[in-house]
Amino acid sequence: MDSTKSNATNSGRRDLSEQIKEVTKDTHVRAENTQLMLNYQKGQITLPQYKLLLCSLYEIYRALEDELDKNSGHPGVEPIYFPQELARLEPLERDLEYFFGPQWRKRVTVPAATLRYTERLREIGRSNPNLLVAHAYTRYLGDLSGGQVLGKITQKTMGLSNTEGVAFFSFPAVTSPHRFKQLYRSRMNSIELTEEERRRVLDEAVRAFELNIEVFDDLQKMLSITEGASGDGGKGKAPTTPLTITRSAVAQFTLGVCAALVTVGMGVYAH
Ligand code: HEM
């Protein structure tokens, strides 16, 4: 984190979009190389894994988009507020309903790291909305970059023929991800920040990547345990026992409890 701070401080006059890419370069490599992402890229994702991943993405985007909506008029948010083009909550709800049925809300299961991530989003939404840009950048530009490849892998691996179950990866209001990313970067660069505020945004971006990595690692641990417990290697169909760890129980979530409750299941995170 120290190098992040000094980079940020020393390059204060450069565009925020360039700086943010630079300071998150190493953590991006680490995120790409988490076991979960490596497996995903190899097409080694099962339906139960994908469903659990969707649950975490749902909670993350629910918090992120709630806070962006609440702060849409804030000068640090307004330039990068693109709900029409980017909002992921509704597509995620459709995907979850597709896989879990109408009662899907009762079946959302997330590990502790996902809860920590959402708590951080809520906290900065309340106390420092300037930092939301770091999280919006990390998620949305990621979704429009490597995430597009992961979407194709998901579709192919799951044998899904159209957008059903993979709405998360699809951005119908973005005709060219490349051009949209350019627009997004220019909007980021238009945000007025003091040197101190800019440094904090850059630190927060590194933290956003770290939070994602922690989610992947937690999901990976769940996978290892539940696969061991299920005895079927986590492959094939959805779990026959519903995943019923509710949000209120998440705080007490332990891997042991998970192993006992879940017959099969694991999530992988894609961006
Ligand atoms: C399978 C794992 C991943 C792959 C293969 C991947 C690949 C890529 C690629 C090819 C780009 C485009 C780089 C460019 O246009 O210069 C990119 C950009 C990006 N990725 Fe990833 N990525 C992965 C995971 C992640 C994760 C987990 C996150 C964050 C949660 C993330 C966040 C980003 C962001 C924010 C950008 C935009 C960088 C910028 O232009 O400033 N990526 N990724």
Task: Express each pLDDT in 109-118 by its tens digit.
Answer: 999 999 999 9
CA atoms within 13 A on the CB side of 147: 21
Q: Atom 41 in ligand 1: which residue has the minimum CA distance?
A: 21
221 domain-assigned: yes
Do 137 and 202 meet the contact criterion of CB atoms below 8 Å apart? no
User: Whole-angstrom Cα distance, residue 242 to residue 106?
Assistant: 9
Question: Is 111 near ligand 1, meaning CB less than 6 Å away?
Answer: no
114 domain-assigned: yes
For the CA of 32, the nearest atom of ligand 1 = 2
22 domain-assigned: yes
For residue 222, the CA-to-ligand 1 centroid distance in Å is 24
* Domain span holding position 111: 2-261
Counting every residue written for the chain, the total comes to: 271
Determine phi and psi for 48, rounding to 5 degrees: -60, -35
239 domain-assigned: yes
266 domain-assigned: no
CATH number of the structural domain spanning residue 36: 1.20.910.10
Question: According to the model, what pLDDT value does residue 227 have?
Answer: 61
**Overall domain count for the chain:** 1
Task: Express each pLDDT in 184-230 by its tens digit.
Answer: 999 999 999 999 999 999 999 999 999 999 999 999 888 766 665 44
Question: Is 200 near ligand 1, meaning CB less than 6 Å away?
Answer: no
229 domain-assigned: yes
123 domain-assigned: yes
Question: Is 212 near ligand 1, meaning CB less than 6 Å away?
Answer: yes
Give Cβ neighbours of residue 167 (< 8 Å, ≥ 6 apart): 91, 92, 94, 95
For the CA of 270, the nearest atom of ligand 1 = 27
Q: Which residue has the tokens 């097409």?
A: 43
90: left (phi over 0), alpha (psi -120 to 50) or beta: alpha
269 domain-assigned: no
Q: Atom 42 in ligand 1: which residue has the minimum CA distance?
A: 142
DSSP string for residues in the chain: -HHHHHHHHHTTTS-HHHHHHHHTHHHHHHHHTSHHHHHHHTT---HHHHHHHHHHHHHHHHHHHHHHHHTTTSTTTGGG--HHHH--HHHHHHHHHHHH-TTGGGG----HHHHHHHHHHHHHHHH-GGGHHHHHIIIIIHHTTHHHHHHHHHHHHHT--SSTT-GGG--TT-S-HHHHHHHHHHHHHTS---HHHHHHHHHHHHHHHHHHHHHHHHHHHHHHHHHHHHSSTT-SSPPSS-----HHHHTT--HHHHHHH-SS-------
pLDDT tops 60 at residue 265: no
Task: Express each pLDDT in 50-70 by its tens digit.
Answer: 999 999 999 999 999 999 999
Return the percentage of the chain with pLDDT > 70, whole number. 77
